[in-house]
Structure 1
């Protein structure tokens, strides 16, 4: 039923008033989208303090509060007191909590719609779901109750000895509102040493607490230096009836832990520096080889130099990754991309060769990563140099695939293909690949012709044994 028909059936509005309500409804969807709320227009019925819903809109980018349309339904005063109040007084009601007809709790704002004579002819209603807010409020209320029970339990420890508190590794102090110690477990008494006394404020007995702002926080953690020790101090404010009645202090010696962290950081820095120097040394060797290569006119000698250069640079790529991360592990898909890109750029400058890498990232230890880098270098280099002899362009693909406790590397090209009678022993590159895969990596290697070119498969275990 249209807005006009609903108004004529249930209300005493004039034609001008009905037209004003219809004009307002045209902007209802925009209002709903801007406010991210369900928006309604209610008009007062002819008899009684109730109203009828004549228009509605829900946000187009969110979910509606209502499963079904409520247009045409009555808003009874008992269930919609804010709407009835606005219709009777002409005053808005903002951010009022209400229950929808489907039982949901919402934040409801109601503003009057008035005609030119100032008479209230309806109301614009905005409703937003506050279920999440209510859930948070309930959680905070439960947390408050829990904190009070915790306070009572901990304060009960002061009246009788507690075996549980003595088993806790931290030094445990219960401090009253005046800052005096009312309970200390065995570890806490050991920390105090000779400075034991309940009448002396805890900050006078443990001077490092003076620099901590633990009193103004409900829960606070900070690490401080006390002599040669590093102490982790956690404080929990104990409350009852919303009043602070004391503080629970838990102090733990974290000196050894922080020292180990410092040593690990130093070790990581040293490892990064070592890899950085190895990379630089390898690149220097590569530069010397380039200088030597430029002095010869033999294409065969230059080719041998270039192959050696590529092998050295592939190892340097691995050490470059290690020098950046400081780890003894490497993500091998990233490593293969670095190697492949350099080989394609330096290999055949007169040919257009594309190389694509696919697969999932896989982590490999440093010793295996160096061997695999040489393997990938030889296989990609083999494709770049020999696959596209009579072709101006070509494609090379590298796919990395995890297989349980193993990893498979597939390298293929769409080039010339392997000769029918090939002698693997005549190729130094393939000899290097097979030796590295079978002996260093404890894996398997195969290379074979396909209908579109050549494919090589390397399969190695991720872990030894």
Structure 2
């Protein structure tokens, strides 16, 4: 189904400001739907008639739509009334009886106005009730009607107000309080009163200023959000958290206006104590995990340094080379832990690791080669250029370690056995489609003398690819010269917070 923005962009004459206002309304109309306990359908005018571009179901009552009406043109019974409102006419004063999917319902129409003109029509549709509404439902419906009048004046939605969903955002069912223009509490729902009582406010709250009731509790606490007083008085359309007595309330204020003058406010209340406690636990857990990775990285780097020192004391070339290879492998594992310090504990951004692996591969053969752009210590050293193409993306930590070891082993083999005498280019190409990953490690050196290389590094790489990653590792000579090693694996899916990417 196309998005609201797509529907609006297809309407001839729909300018950007009008489209943004309608999207702002739809972003916050869950509040209106819950107060009125009604389905909301947004209609806009098109050359072919009235088109339903958005629909919202209430979370506080039953729906009249089992099939989403978005994308439908107004039918015969709806067309004339909706068109009248869209053309700037007055909606019917009384709710109209209609049928929705074989069930009786009541429909009310309200204009959506912005900058002095009607830009849409809002249909408010509720099922016919068999019982009388409770006092709580009546008060909420009255508040919903006030928001409808504000919408008809172009004062709702409120520009700059926070748009749910946002973690811990209060809704009508969580608790609602009505204030007058001076911030005095007129009425509160049972859930709201219970939340304030758990917070430490005892007794009847009606007739008291909400800001004064909470001041005494907040005096002994840590610094208070500067927007909290404005929210408690209902003067700013904003959200704030209030903490005291080990609990946390999330508050959202919606100022009410009549003719442009503030006449009161709605305060939505939710007890988010448990939610905030879990968030703090997650923050502590993340900090602990990062500290573990930091310590592991430091320990591995210490082991690598000890191996390097020990290799320098070896008189046997074979022993020195074996210790150098061990030092390089330990350093590669340390690279993964260092990458996890900088990203999410759920994923390692492997492209950064590949860059370090390339440098390790060239450094491992520093006796005979030097990296492009640097001066070699020995005039007999040959130059090796490193290049990378494509992206690997995020990889789960348990797969990143063996994958980094394999890439380092193959890159090192390519430098030592393919480029150490002639120099040339070491290229790593990555191709990823979903969970399928293919990495090519290529060099333009001497090529393989046999169908498959042998040695400890090759055996380690083969074992890790097949055993740890469940993939395949192959080698072949390139037609233009040199060798290509190919890693072909399927990785586990990983979700990444866009903010950490």
- Give the TM-score of the pair, scaled to structure 1: 0.63
For residues 313 and 209 of structure 1, the distance between their equivalents in structure 2, rounded to whole angstroms, comes to 52
Between the aligned partners of 2:438 and 2:420, the Cα distance in structure 1 is 28
Matched, 1:355 2:386: yes
Q: Contact 1:274–1:323 at 8 Å: present in 2 too?
A: no
**1:277 equivalenced with 2:281 (yes/no):** no
Find the partner of 2:278 among 246, 251, 260: 260
Q: Does 1:413 align with 2:443?
A: yes
Q: Tell me the secondary structure at the aligned position of residue 212 of structure 1.
A: helix
Residues 76-132 of structure 1 show CA distances to partners (whole Å, capped at 9, x for unaligned) of xxxxxxxxxxxxxxxxxxxxxxxxxxxx9xxxxxxxxxxxxxxxxxxxxxxxxxx76
Would you say the 8 A contact 2:195–2:269 is kept in 1?
no
Distance 1:331 1:446 in 2: 25
* 1:245 corresponds to: 263
- 1:178-235 deviations in Å (ceiling 9; x for gaps): 4333222120232354522533333444446996123474402111113211111111
Give 3-state SS (helix, strand or coil) of 1:387's partner. helix
CA distance in 1, matches of 2:353, 2:289: 18
Alignment match, 2:459: 431
1:461 paired to 2:490: yes
1:42 is matched with which residue?
Answer: none
Whether 1:378 aligns to 2:395 is no
- Most deviating of 268-277 and 203-212: 203-212
CA positional deviation for 1:290: 1.2
Alignment of 1:18-57 (within 5 A): none
Is residue 212 of structure 1 aligned with residue 220 of structure 2? no
Structure 1: 5+ residue runs without aligned partners?
Answer: 1-103, 105-130, 150-157
**Is the contact made by 2:432 and 2:438 (CA closer than 8 Å) also made in structure 1?**
yes
In 2 relative to 1, CA 141–365 (structure 1 residues): closer, same or farther, beyond 3 Å? Answer: farther
Q: Deviations over 1:275-302 (max 9, x none)?
A: 1111111111111111111112333322
1:222 alignment counterpart: 240
Measured against aligned partners, the alpha-carbon deviations of 1:414-448 in whole angstroms (never above 9, x if no partner) come to 011111365x4x41111111110011101111111
Q: CA deviation at 1:161?
A: 3.6
Q: Does 1:202 align with 2:210?
A: yes
Alignment partner of 1:441 out of 469, 472, 481: 469
Contact in 2 for aligned 1:269/1:326 (Cα 8 Å): no
Contact 2:235 2:265 in 1 (8 A): no
- Provide the residue aligned with 1:75 in structure 2: none
Q: Deviations over 1:45-72 (max 9, x none)?
A: xxxxxxxxxxxxxxxxxxxxxxxxxxxx
Query: Residues 164, 323 of structure 1: CA spacing in aligned structure 2 closer, same or farther, 3 A cutoff?
Result: farther
- Mapped contact 1:272–1:322 kept (Cα < 8 A): yes
Distance in 2 separating the partners of 1:238 and 1:144: 22
Which has the greater radius of gyration? Answer: 1
Given the superposition, is the C-alpha separation of residues 173 and 143 from structure 1 closer, same or farther in structure 2, using an over 3 Å criterion? farther
Check conservation: 2:296, 2:337, Cα contact below 8 A.
yes
> How many Å separate the matches in 2 of 1:365 and 1:232?
35
Quote the offset at 1:135 in angstroms.
7.9
Counterpart-to-counterpart distance in 1, 2:451 and 2:135:
91
Unaligned runs of 5+ in 2: 1-12, 22-112, 125-132, 142-170, 220-227, 371-380, 494-501
2:363 is aligned with 1:388: no
Q: CA deviation at 1:405?
A: 2.6
Report the RMSD for the aligned CA atoms in angstroms: 3.3
Instruction: Compute the displacement of 1:140 (Å).
Output: 5.5
SS of 1:334 mapped into structure 2? helix
TM-score by length of 2: 0.58
Aligned partner of 2:89 in structure 1 is: none
- Separation in structure 2 between the aligned mates of residue 323 and residue 136 of structure 1, nearest angstrom: 40
SS in 1 for 2:459: helix
Which residue does the alignment assign to 1:181? 185
Q: 1:180 to 1:406 in 2, by over 3 A?
A: same
- The Cα offsets for residues 372-414 of structure 1, whole Å up to 9 and x where unpaired, read as 01100110010111002431x2111101111343111111110
- The one of the two structures with greater contact order (alpha-carbon pairs below 8 A, sep at least 6) is 2
Give the direction of change, closer, same or farther, for the CA distance of 1:161–1:328 in structure 2 (3 Å limit).
closer
User: Are residues 229 and 380 of structure 1, via their aligned partners in 2, closer, same or farther at CA, if it must alter by over 3 Å?
Assistant: same
